[in-house]
Amino acid sequence: MQEIRFRSIASHLISRIVLLAIVGMSLFVGLLGIWEYESGKSSFKTIMEQHANASLLPLSHALWDIDPQVLRQQVHGLSRLPQVGYVRVQAAISGELFEEGLSAPEGREATLKMEIPAPVGVLGEAKIPLGTLEVWKSSSYYAEQMRNAILGMVLGYVLFTVMVCVAVMLVMRRQLQEPLRQIAIFARNLKPNGLPQTLVLNRPGRDYVDEIDLVAKGFMQLQSDLQSHIAHLDLLVAERTSQLQQMVDEVKRLSLTDALTGCLNRRALDERLLAEVERSQRYSRPLSVVFLDLDRFKRVNDEHGHATGDAVLREVAWRCQRELRTQVDWLARYGGEEFLVVLPESGVAQASQLAQRLGRVIRDQSIDVDGLHLSVTASFGIAQLHGNETMDELLSRADAALYEAKAAGRNCARVSAL
């Protein structure tokens, strides 16, 4: 068997602290980067709007006077600002460009874009722009600012994490690692015939208790409980075995019983009817089945609700159970409002008499559900097992007889012919 690698709790805790610190630092650095970016973006717009507003008047006169030298001087002055990466001025009339900067925008949208109006009083009240001023921020400048801010934060965070790890390691080694080692040795040597031994921890005297003391107290309590438990183990095992058998029997009963009506379900029907067919054929004894289907039951559900329909099914199943021979005949819910009555040791004549009797007990007395008086009828299909007929063939003939009863107007019984 491969030996499992040992790892102390102290090293595991330190590694988790470091991992948590890295995750926290990553999250904090991301948030700081976003804040620095948004702050830089806001400050850039504020600063550049001030510089641009100061440059608008010279640019306006230069464009009006068509003075390229002044335009270049203004563009050069703006591009020399540390926050600016690139500046572009485009004349509206001539379309001429005046641009300068450290890095071309290459399709990037300008960070600041302003129209250059005509000088005041030149065009009267009309505000026709003479050109456009576009300014792109310097990515390298803001990256350096962000890098410096993040680096300072990371260094402080790392120093704090190292201090926390050292403090935790010292406390864990003294207060946890050695006592846990003693407890592990005690637990490894604990055997059923060695339960009376006592756990003693070599720890400095203290005026308080901690988790290690609680663990040691728990082991001593465990010793006492184990001794009592072993003394009564046989009794406990017998009780649990009896309870388990009862639960198994109950689960088996529930798995074979229809939850709504309390009669056998389809699974139990398939298993038990197959055994009845085999017994009938082996000993040449009669066996009959009766399909019972409530007439127009869908109308009950549609008009009064499914809860009322369920109550009707329960009442019908109870009335039918009363008419069957105890420990001989049995009733199963075939599906929906359809039931199957299985009659061992009964021929088709006895099955027909039973069907007539069931029809009367269902029909002659109304079913009361929450103040409603419902009249219900049923149709019956009867078949007797013949020769080497299979279970499916027997059910098929009974089902065909049931359809004949429904086609004949319902509330009647029909016997299957071979």
Which tens digits make up the pLDDT trace of 272-319? 999 999 999 999 999 999 999 999 999 999 999 999 999 999 999 999
Tracing tokens 């704090």 back to the chain, one arrives at 160
- Asked if the structure places residue 160 within a domain, the reply is no
- Flag whether the pTM goes above 0.85: no
Amino acid at 44: F
pLDDT band for 101, please (50, 70, 90 cuts).
confident
- Asked if the structure places residue 231 within a domain, the reply is no
User: Contact 39/142 with Cβ under 8 angstroms?
Assistant: no
Amino acid at 179: P
Query: Do both 14 and 137 map to the same domain?
Result: yes
User: Number of folded domains in the chain?
Assistant: 2
- Asked if the structure places residue 2 within a domain, the reply is no
- Asked if the structure places residue 167 within a domain, the reply is no
- Asked if the structure places residue 192 within a domain, the reply is no
Q: Residue 375 sits in which domain range?
A: 253-415
Last residue of a domain, one of 100, 124, 143: 143
Last residue of a domain, one of 143, 176, 197: 143
**pLDDT tens digits along 52-86:** 777 777 877 777 777 888 888 888 888 788 778 78
Structure tokens at 391: 């279970």
**pLDDT tens digits along 182-209:** 777 777 776 666 665 667 676 666 677 7
Question: DSSP letter string over 206-251?
Answer: -SS--HHHHHHHHHHHHHHHHHHHHHTHHHHHHHHHHHHHHHHHHH
How many whole angstroms separate alpha carbon 85 and alpha carbon 104? 8
Query: Do both 288 and 409 map to the same domain?
Result: yes
How many whole angstroms separate alpha carbon 122 and alpha carbon 61? 10
> Which CATH number does the domain housing residue 408 bear?
3.30.70.270
Which residues lie across from 134 on neighbouring strands? 88, 113
How many whole angstroms separate alpha carbon 233 and alpha carbon 224? 14
User: Contact 136/86 with Cβ under 8 angstroms?
Assistant: yes
**pLDDT tens digits along 9-38:** 667 677 777 788 787 777 877 777 677 666
Cβ-based neighbours of 402, under 8 Å, separated by 6 or more: 291, 293, 379, 380, 381, 414
Query: Do both 393 and 265 map to the same domain?
Result: yes
Amino acid at 210: D
User: Contact 325/283 with Cβ under 8 angstroms?
Assistant: no
Structure tokens at 363: 């029909």
Last residue of a domain, one of 143, 158, 179: 143
Query: Do both 124 and 259 map to the same domain?
Result: no
Average pLDDT over every residue of 349-378: 94
- Asked if the structure places residue 174 within a domain, the reply is no
**pLDDT tens digits along 132-175:** 888 887 777 767 777 777 787 778 778 877 887 777 777 777 66
